[in-house]
Structures are given as structure tokens and as C-alpha cells.
Amino acid sequence: MQEQMPRRTFVKTAGVLATAPMLGAAGASAPAPEFVGSTVAAPARRRLGTLEVSSIGIGVQNMSRRYETTVPSRPEMHRIIRAAFDRGVTFFDAAEAYGPHEVERILGEGVAPLRNRITIATKFGWNIDQETGRRLPGLNSKPAHVKRVVDGMLTRLRTDRIDLLYQHRVDPEVPIEDVAGAIGELKAQGKVLHWGLCEMGLSTLRRAHATQPVSAVQSEYSMLWRGPEEQVLAVCEELGIGFVPWSPLGVGFLSGAIDEATRFAQGDIRGIESRFAPENLPHNLQLVALCRRWGQRKQAAPAQIALAWLMAQKPWIVPIPGTTQMAHMVENTGASDVRFTESELAELNAVVRAIEVRGQRLPDAVLAFSGVEAPLKR
Ligand SMILES: NC(=O)c1ccc[n+]([C@@H]2O[C@H](COP(=O)([O-])OP(=O)(O)OC[C@H]3O[C@@H](n4cnc5c(N)ncnc54)[C@H](OP(=O)(O)O)[C@@H]3O)[C@@H](O)[C@H]2O)c1
């Protein structure tokens, strides 16, 4: 079901990764050699529109603050980023809103030694004060603001270009043609190479693509939330746009990290998602049991089954599991070794689709930002 895994050639210098000096905030800006590691079987490459990336990426959203509300060690986040690269992961997913701003800084520091070999994706669109990094109410995709945000991103990410820039949520006050126009100018300046949209309405996606070709859509998709199967995936296929599922592990749920006794810390968004409410957890845990059963069958971890299932749906789907733990990164990356035959996939699909997930994926106030159509240009 998945494409053949070519062996990416890295300079064979076993142990370099472990012994390389960690580059802190100051050190990372100095010219550094390209990172090297041992020769490994790496995830195959996939295409998102005209952009080629590793078939699994990594989401770095929680590298400044975990869902559980704890703050991870910054040097360890740099080590995870570089170790992911050493395992063939070249697709790193951030956003201005994560932190805000702080996650882009952590990613910029982490990838500084390997910048030219990786793909940085980040997102604009929430209304964030550019001086203070403070989050203000609502959204802001006004063209002048987007251009200012991108300049800040380039500084934080320590780079001269953003490989893939998404609109994080559709701004109901700004025609998408105006946003696409700003992206066109940023592309002409070489500051942005590709663009995409998240959680947008379908007409907005079509209008955006008609104005400035879109490389990728990023919306939630996993065994726990299969909404994109209704329409979004078909439109992506029709238009030749790649798809990047966010929360591909169901915000950790499909890995088996959550059980019916789990209760969430104050400030952990999962505590206000009714799919994780005590009355719905026992039912929804059928999906975890399914991942465990298939894990036994395929000699894989439940999280690997959840990711391999996503990648098996379409060859232009590239999940970005988020983690702040080295062992989890290694496990998640290994999902590209899990293959399903056609009959296995049909069997697994049938069981997944027979399980009706109970509860909402997000609270109403957050869901209101999804599926929004941008106003028409007058
Ligand atoms: N466009 C959007 O609106 C949007 C929204 C949300 C997320 N995103 C992007 O999507 C990325 C991934 O989504 P996500 O982080 O929300 O959800 P996810 O990838 O489904 O799950 C992440 C959670 O699972 C845990 N985890 C990861 N691998 C694990 C493993 N192998 N075993 C056990 N637990 C594991 C992580 O904790 P540990 O840190 O402890 O591993 C974390 O709590 C984000 O980093 C972000 O870049 C985008």
C-alpha cells in the first residue's frame, strides 16, 4: 500500500549524532556543518502538490509547553529534532501561534545545522501582537499583517525562506484572494516557497488554489476524527493538493496513553473535548483496542498502526505526529515500516469505519473556526 522505501544516503559517521555538540540559542547562529548520521532506512518521500517531503513529519507544537502543561527541556527538544532528521524525517511543523513565537525559536535553533536539508512548515493567521508575542482575540490575515508576521518568522526560524506557509484558520473578514495575493508577493521575494490552508471551507480552498496554487491542506484526521473523508480528501485529490493530518494520533489517544481512568490537567485542551469525557472514553477506547490488536498482528506499537493506517489511505497524506519524547519520536518514525496488504487494509478500514466515535473533537468555541468560508472579493 505504501511506496517502496528507498534508502536515503547519509554520510556514514556512526556516533556523530550522539557526540555532536548541542547548539544553544547563541551557538546555532554560527555557521555549522550539515548534520550527518549513520546510513539508515528512512521514511520514503511523498509529494504535497509540488513539494517533496519525508512520508512522516514531526509536529513541534508542544516543544514549548506540553498538553499536560509541563515545559519540556529545550536542549532535549533540539536533540529530538536532530535525531528525527537523522532517522530521515525532513518535515517539521510549527506555527506562529505555538508559544506564541517560542516554538518557532526552538525549531530554528534545532534545525540551524541542517537547514538546507529540511522542510520547515509554519502558520500565520491568529491575531498575535508582533511586538510582545501576546495573543489578541480573533484572527488576522490582513495582507500587511501577514507580511509582517513572515518577517518575524524568518528571524525566529533563523532562515531566509519558509518552505510551506499555511493560513492557520480562515479569516472571515479577508477575501482569500487577498491572502493569496500576499502569498504571491512573498513568493516573488523568495520568502515563501509553498502555501497551504488549515481547516478551511471547501469553496475557500478552491478559490485559494485558483489564485495561487496550494500545495497542502492541514486539517485534523485520524482514526478518531475522520471528517476529511466526507469531502476534503476528494477535493485535494481532484486539485492535486497534498494532505497533512494534524493530531494523527488522536492527540495521543490512539497510542494507548489514555484509558478510562484518565483525567486531564487544568489547561490541557483534551479536558474540554467531549470525546475524552468520562462518559465517552470507554466506548471510544474500542479504537485503541483495535490498534493494539493490529499491533500484535503486525509486530508494531498501537501508535504505529494509527500512523500507518493514515499513510495507507492516500500516497499524498503525510502525518505529523507531535512529540516531546525521544522514544516516541523513534516509535512514530518507525510507522513507515508498517505495511498493509490490500485485503488487510480493507479489513482494517471496515472495522475503523464501523466504530462511531462519541463526543465532539473540539469545544464549540474552537470548532467555530473550522470550515469557515472567506468573504467574496468585491
Ligand atoms: N493546523 C492545526 O490547527 C493544528 C492543530 C493541532 C496540531 N497541529 C500540528 O499537528 C501536530 C501533531 O498534533 P498533536 O500534537 O496535537 O497530536 P498527536 O500527534 O495526535 O498526539 C500528540 C500527543 O501524543 C503523545 N505521543 C506522541 N507519540 C506518542 C507515542 N508514540 N506514544 C505515546 N504517546 C505519544 C504526545 O506526548 P509526548 O510529547 O509525551 O510524546 C502528545 O501528547 C502538532 O505538533 C502541530 O504541529 C496543527
- Cβ proximity of 310 and 222 under 8 Å: yes
pLDDT of residue 44: 86
Task: Find the 58 Cα to ligand 1 centroid distance in Å.
Answer: 9
**227-254: b (≥16 Cβ within 10 Å) or e:** ebeeebbebbeebebbbbbbbbbbbbbb
Residue nearest to atom 38 of ligand 1 (CA): 323
Strand partners, 244: 218
What are 124's three cell numbers?
Answer: 500565520
What does CATH list as the number for 49-367? 3.20.20.100
- Rounded Cα–Cα distance for residues 217 and 258 (Å): 28
pLDDT of residue 42: 58
84 lines ligand 1 (CB under 6 A): no
Residue nearest to atom 47 of ligand 1 (CA): 59
Q: What is the pLDDT of residues 120-149, one digit of tens each?
A: 999 999 999 999 999 999 999 999 999 999
Mean pLDDT score across all residues of the chain: 90
Residue nearest to atom 37 of ligand 1 (CA): 323
- Cβ proximity of 64 and 102 under 8 Å: yes
Residue 3 has pLDDT above 80, yes or no: no
28-46: average pLDDT: 47
pTM attached to this predicted model: 0.91
- Rounded Cα–Cα distance for residues 204 and 175 (Å): 9
252 lines ligand 1 (CB under 6 A): yes
- DSSP state at residue 191: S
Q: What is the pLDDT of residues 56-83, one digit of tens each?
A: 999 999 999 999 999 999 999 999 999 9
Q: Which atom of ligand 1 is nearest to the CA of 60?
A: 45
DSSP assignment of 121-181: EEEE-EEE-TTT-PEEEEE---HHHHHHHHHHHHHHTTSS-EEEEEESS--TTS-HHHHHH
- Cβ proximity of 219 and 235 under 8 Å: no
Residue nearest to atom 45 of ligand 1 (CA): 59
Task: Find the 329 Cα to ligand 1 centroid distance in Å.
Answer: 10
Residue 242 has pLDDT above 60, yes or no: yes
Scan for cell 483534551, then name that residue: 270
305 lines ligand 1 (CB under 6 A): no
Residue 22 has pLDDT above 70, yes or no: no
* Residue 221 annotated as catalytic: no
- Rounded Cα–Cα distance for residues 376 and 378 (Å): 6
The values of phi and psi at residue 121, to 5°, are -110, 135
67 lines ligand 1 (CB under 6 A): yes
Q: Which of 48, 65, 81, 249 to mutate to test the pocket of ligand 1 (most atoms within 8 A of CB)?
A: 249
Higher pLDDT, 304 or 2: 304
Task: Find the 249 Cα to ligand 1 centroid distance in Å.
Answer: 7
